[in-house]
Structure 1
């Protein structure tokens, strides 16, 4: 059976008790944490920075953390997030003039590299950097806010990326972020997704363990 990973997005967590909330969602069966960084410039929202990530590490959160940079420019925060404890640093290609340099800088600081694509962002960037990536993230909502409705047109985009990965023979996880819930997750899983970033569906539920079990059950036979 294919191994799927669940990555709750802490954008939907309870920030009054963030460390405890993240710990609870991991103990309930999650695999990694998705850390949404927004600057109020590239996207119309402002979230959190390296000090929050560092505080989670200090609290004892040891799970892999993917820092998703929805900021422009990117490079000035790479070192800070790597030192704070990021495992992956994922950025959007339109946020940097020199994508190769940004990828190399992320690797220089010891993190794995993810490249993220908005629903309207073309995939041609992959033709030039696929061999350097450790993750590809497809946005199924327009970035900026949690709780948005899944854009079904991105299903075809997921199939296209999976085909590119398979033809390349590189072992690159495919991740999906935005509007994922129990009703649509099976359709998404059929495209070959490996990592599901899920925010409000998990964090807004009354029982994390029960919700995560239902999510895993929904994709267990795909």
Structure 2
């Protein structure tokens, strides 16, 4: 079986906020391909993180893809601002969008790749009519709002469901997993069908973050895993 190499997207939410410049420089010198940026509004999720001013500054020095995950209400009001701030991928939550197709087209019209994020309780079949229009399906493998949570095991089933939907529809969407990703479960997640691994604590909490990123990128998958 051919080895599948995942995209690693370290989550800035777990970084040292007193040293953000150094943290981004570390990511620039690592094997990570994306930098994951979680934006929380205290309404859609019970927490507030960072927003446009921080992303606008970081995007100037980040040499990786700026992958912005909006955990906010009414994302359509801010899409243009995030495009100007340097977002290259913008993911919005299906649970926050009353007119998801319109949201996706807006994001693409602004020159960004469009992602749809799905909470743990949300059934995958709701993606059927949008799967051909999105570039990324971001599956939450924890309940959104806080870092450092444990991976929800049912996510493996949802990954397989999305992979089947993508393959059968001819969509080119990537499957991104966000929450509780560790070196211990990364291989199983990739084996189930994921393309992108968001890693927060497992990267920024490691003694050697660059080595941790390399280890995640080079996980060994096996047909016997999960």
With the shorter chain as reference, the TM-score category is over 0.9
The TM-score with structure 1 as length reference comes to 0.95
For 1:191-202, what aligned pairs fall within 5 Å after superposition? 191-202=192-203
Q: Which runs of 5+ in 1 are unaligned?
A: none
Distance apart, 1:136 and its partner CA: 0.5
TM-score when normalising by structure 2: 0.94
Are 1:56 and 2:66 counterparts? no
Q: How does 1:1-222 map to 2 (within 5 A)?
A: 1-58=3-60, 60-219=61-220
Q: Is the 8 A contact 2:36 2:198 kept in 1?
A: yes
In the alignment, the residues of structure 1 paired with residue 75 and residue 152 of structure 2 have an alpha-carbon distance, to the nearest angstrom, of 26
3-state SS of paired residue (1:6): strand
* Structure 2 residues not aligned, in runs of 5+: none
How far did residue 221 of structure 1 move? 5.9
Cα contact 1:13–1:22 (8 A) shared by 2: no
- 1:187, distance to aligned residue in structure 2 (A): 1.2
CA contact (8 A) 2:191 2:221 kept: no
Deviations 1:24-59 (A, max 9, x none): 02312211111000000110100111111110123x
Q: Please say if residues 26 and 32 of structure 1, whose CA atoms lie closer than 8 Å, have aligned partners that are also in contact.
A: no
Is contact 2:5–2:218 with CA below 8 Å preserved after alignment?
A: no
Q: In 1, Cα distance between the equivalents of 2:216 and 2:76?
A: 35
State the distance in 2 between where 1:217 and 1:110 align.
31
After superposition, the CA RMSD in angstroms is: 1.3
Distance between the aligned counterparts of 2:213 and 2:63, measured in 1? 19
Residue-pair matches, total? 221
